Amino acid sequence: MAKEWSSLQAILGKLADLGADRDVVLFALGGGVIGDLTGFAAAIYMRGVCFVQVPTTLLAQVDSSVGGKTGINLPQGKNLVGAFHQPQAVWADLDVLGTLPAREYSAGLAEVIKYGPVADPAFFAWLERNMDALMARDHTALMTAVRRACEIKAAVVAADEREGGVRAILNFGHTFGHALEAGLGYGALLHGEAVALGMLMATELSVRALGLDSQLLQRLKSLLERAQLPVRAPYLDPERFLQLMRGDKKAAAGSIRYVLIPVLGQACLQVAPDALALEAIASHSASVTK
């Protein structure tokens, strides 16, 4: 199923056909798409019913299943229609990750990696030391990574459930990443792959706009490569790239607000000149169309 109106209508229609009332509990068994769709359906059916997240991908376990964001995409951008609706519970079973395709697993690691630069330098260093174990899907390493990622996200969400302030830091790399997904066509890149590329562009912009030590950019690139994630984006017309980012939910009055890193472990939401953003995009993109 895709995160679109037709899928949402199918879920709501089935609930109505079954005569489901306000006591129904929906279970979101699957990855982030299923979790977002099910959560949004639960948020609006009968003006709100209960649901439980049972994430079966690494990305969903460390990110989308935690925090209560639900929604669908529009052709103009990702997650532009949705609601905040907290699950009654989240059940993350690490054993299901053993059958996850390698590409999907790596995409999930991108969302694990993002927590280090924005919130926890010690976790970033731990990931550098333990990436080989994570790539081997070592259970102990996975347990540590999933637990720490969820701890960080839960703490940020508790402080700002509806993303009025600090929660926006969890979108590190997503402004660029969402534009890549929409501009290239959904499915060309997995969400985690787009986020990985977006994190590189956001870090590059942090170097150029805020004076971040460029050594962090190299550390991040190396970590993403070890996680078998892309470090050079397919070509997307620069003006189209900017146009898509202006449609991001964090944009204000036509200005693009980026999650940037002044120093490792801290993040801020800040406007940056288009010229610097274009330089950051070009530094981590293919130079010509395929």
Enumerate the active-site residues: 47, 69, 111, 153, 163, 167, 171, 174, 178, 191
Contact criterion met (CB below 8 Å) for 179 and 186: no
Question: Which residue carries 């590190």 as its tokens?
Answer: 172
- CB-based contacts of 240, cutoff 8 Å, min separation 6: 183
DSSP 214-279: HHHHHHHHHHHHHTT--SSBPP--HHHHHHHHHTSTT-BTTB-EEEE-SSTT--EEEE--HHHHHH
Cα 109 from chain centre: 11
Q: Which helix (H) or strand (E) holds 115?
A: helix 115-119
Q: Which two tokens stand for residue 209?
A: 């706009």
Contact criterion met (CB below 8 Å) for 224 and 197: no
Cα dihedral sign, 111-115-118-124 = negative
